[in-house]
Amino acid sequence: MMLLSPKRWYYMMGRKKFFEFLILAVFILFFYGPLIHMFMLAFASKYEVPWVLPTKFGFEWWKYVLNQRSLVSSISLSFTIAAIVTALSLVICLPAAFVLARYDFPGRKLVMLSFLIGNAFPHLGLYTSIGIIYYKLNLMGTFLGVLLIHMLGSIMLMIWLPAGAFRSIPRQQEEAARDVGAGPVRTFFHVTLPMAWPGIAVAAMFTFIASLGENQGTLLVGLPKYRTMPVEMYGVILDYPATAGAVFALILIIPNLILLLLMRKYVGPETISKGFKMN
Amino acid sequence: MTNEVKLEIRDMTKKYKNGDGVENINLKVNTGELVTLLGPSGCGKTTILRTIGGFLECTKGSILIDGRNIEHLPPEKRPTAMVFQSYNLWPHMTVYENMAFGLKLRKIPKAERHHQIMKMLELIKMTGMERKYPGQMSGGQQQRIAIARSLLLKPDVLLLDEPFSALDAKIRSQMREELRKIQIDLNITVVFVTHDQEEAMALSDRIVVMNKGCFEQIGTPAEIYDKPANRYVASFIGDMNFIERSDRTIAVRPECIAINSSGKEEIAGVVRAVMILGHYTEITVDTECGIIRSFVAGQDAGVFHPGQRVTLSYTKALEFLK
């Protein structure tokens, strides 16, 4: 009990450290509290008033959620879309990133900045005007329409981060490859691309995660045919018990956590800041 | 070393947009010869090397290897190999993979590749390092691998762009010796670029002294040192005293200045400083012709002290007309 006395903590740590500690503790509580609560809910088989904690833990709600056909199909749809969006973005954005990183043409900075515009306005307004175009092009309610909406959201990162990665490769590394006999194409695939890979991987990860989480655009464009997990989430919040919602939310979060863990070596201020340099 | 010409640069001009560059370059390098391009930074020596390697296009002129014009070829098709100042090993490949890359492109069978790489590692005394990544090695080790990577491809001409200037002094001189030994053993033709005159003197069969995009003098290290063609070369290579006369400049090496012994044209002065630099002592003397420096053997230097009146004379001198 000795350690529970705040006075003891105060004098042990000193005034400054003590308040820093308090702020950190409050921050952690606010930040992780809801997350922990959600974990608890997801594994609560029996959780009734007046108990503060669940009285029985188990996988009951997991079984329930995984038995709802519409929810399961939304999971597989979400991952399919995220995978396709990531692959397509790579194919489209990498060449653009390379050109922007390596060739200095008039208006280069403007082109770079133009990718920011998509993120500079409230998305809903943007989607409304996109909706008008979609109706004209018959893209409303189509798979392609959903893919395009998802890709729109990730273009900026998908170009800026790889461009930063390409830019930071010393030219002489490529010259050394040319020198030993590799042509320009081989040099790109054996030297440039592998060396830029960390930056590209981080961008791909962000794209994948962003696609998994995209909801506004999908809701507007994809309904009623294409219901991804975040879209289903709206319904889950309204129609299902909180415990089922928690399970569903965890299914959304877990892949993100795994990806972040796998990439933790590469995700850092350095990779990100390289991408945000304009020169 | 033979007298057949391996590399020839004919009337080469390379101008950058801002007007810098090199002009009317003519150079012949014999098989097995090590020629150094020496000059201050910005004098165009790297430009010449990069045009030979194919990384820059000439504005005018031609580059021939074994009499064949290679000017129009991209770097990958040229029989040259280049070693860069910053090593430029590929960091995502192991030492072995770095060395194998070029051999693979030349479609050399796997067993033969392995044999050649192992032999090369032995030559540069790096056996057992093949699984390491460049990031795990010191600068000196990386540069050795980079040189080995180039040598493996048996280039007609090896190009070295200040390969040792990122290394510290001790390793630099050691690498210099090793490079020279391998170069002579394998009879490789080398063009070496450096701004370090000591390095150029130690390594080269011939030195090309450059200044502002032009060749000032081409000659053996001894020729360059003993008979500099002009004042620029005289001041750039080694230490030199310049004694101004009305119509000419007399240039005398510090080791040719004798103190208090009779010789031609005696100059009076006062000793300013005595500095012991190991096996010799540098004595600076204030005279009416300015400060003159003299190198005196260690055992003879003890009799001099600052403030002492002395007379200087020289045994060997060069004259440049103004």
Q: How buried is B139 (Cβ within 10 angstroms: 0-12 exposed, 13-18 middle, 19+ buried)? A: middle
Closest CA of chain A from B96, distance in Å:
15
Could you give the CA distance from residue A160 to residue A94 in angstroms, rounded to a whole number?
A: 10
Q: Is A178 exposed, middle or buried (0-12, 13-18, 19+ CB in 10 A)?
A: buried
Domain ranges within chain A, ordered by starting residue: 2-61, 68-275
Average pLDDT, integer, range B31-52: 92
**How far, in Å, CA of B125 to CA of B128, rounded?**
9
Mean pLDDT computed over every residue of chain B: 89
**Is the pLDDT reported for residue B210 higher than 90?**
yes
d(CA A122, CA A130): 13
Chain B residues with CB under 8 Å of A180 CB are 76, 81, 101-102, 105, 149-150, 153
Whether the pLDDT of residue A267 is over 80: the answer is: no
- Residue A16's pLDDT band (cuts 50, 70, 90): confident
* 3-state secondary structure (DSSP) of residue A242: helix
The residue-averaged pLDDT of B37-54 equals: 91
A interface mutation test: which of B51, B90, B157 has the most A CBs within 10 A? B90
Q: What is the pLDDT of residue B133?
A: 92
Q: How confident is the model at residue A97 (pLDDT cuts 50, 70, 90)?
A: very high
Cβ count near B10 (within 10 Å): 17
Q: What is the pTM of this model?
A: 0.78
| Residue-range domains of chain B with CATH | 5-231 (3.40.50.300), 241-321 (2.40.50.140)
Q: Which whole number is the average pLDDT over B231-245?
A: 87
Q: What is the pLDDT of residues A133-189, one digit of tens each?
A: 999 998 888 899 999 989 988 888 899 889 988 998 888 999 999 999 999 999 999
Within a 10 A sphere around the Cβ of B224, how many other Cβ atoms?
27
Question: Is residue A225 within 8 Å of residue A146, measured between CB atoms?
Answer: no
A265 touching B (Cβ < 8 Å): no
What is the rounded distance in angstroms from the CA atom of residue B320 to the CA atom of residue B229?
9
Among chain A residues, the shortest Cα distance to B107 is held by A181
**Contact status of A189 with chain B (Cβ, < 8 Å):** no
Is A149 within 8 Å of A210 (Cβ atoms)? no
* pLDDT for the residue B89: 92
* Token pair recorded at residue A245: 């919602």
Closest Cα partner for A74 from A227, A255, A216? Answer: A227
B240-246, Cβ contacts within 8 angstroms, sequence gap of 24 or more: B241/B292, B241/B293, B243/B267, B243/B289, B243/B290, B243/B292, B244/B289, B244/B290
Residue of higher predicted confidence among A277 and B243 = B243
Q: What is the pLDDT of residue A2?
A: 65
Measured distance CA(B294)–CA(B255) in Å, rounded: 6
Q: What radius of gyration, in Å, describes the C-alpha atoms of chain B? A: 24
**Which range is least confidently modeled, A28-32, A64-68, B131-135, B216-220?**
A64-68
Beta bridge partners of B242: B251
Q: How many angstroms separate the CA atoms of A203 and A210, rounded? A: 10
Instruction: State the pLDDT at residue B116.
Output: 93
Predicted local distance difference test score (pLDDT) of residue B263? 64
Pick from A158, A151, A102: which is nearest to A275 by CA?
A158
Write out pLDDT tens, residues A224-242: 788 888 888 888 878 888 8
Contact A183, A244 (CB under 8 A): no
> Residue B51: its chain A contacts at CB < 8 A?
none
> Which among A6, A73, A100 is positioned nearest to A232, based on CA atoms?
A73
pLDDT at position B192, please? 94
Instruction: State mean pLDDT over B154-176.
Output: 89
Beta strands B318-321 and B280-287 are unpaired
For B65-111, write each residue's pLDDT tens digit: 998 999 889 999 999 999 998 888 999 999 999 999 999 999 999 99
Q: Do A194 and B92 touch (CB under 8 A)?
A: yes
pLDDT the model gives residue A117: 77
The CA-CA-CA angle for residues B52, B27, B35, to 5°, reads: 80
Residue recorded with tokens 């973005």: A89
The answer to whether residue A279 scores a pLDDT higher than 60 is: no
Q: Which of A101-105, A268-272, B25-29, B39-43 has the lowest mean pLDDT?
A: A268-272
Report the CATH superfamily, name and number, of domain A68-275. MetI-like (1.10.3720.10)
Residue of A180, A187, A192, A265 to mutate when probing chain B, most B C-beta within 10 A: A180
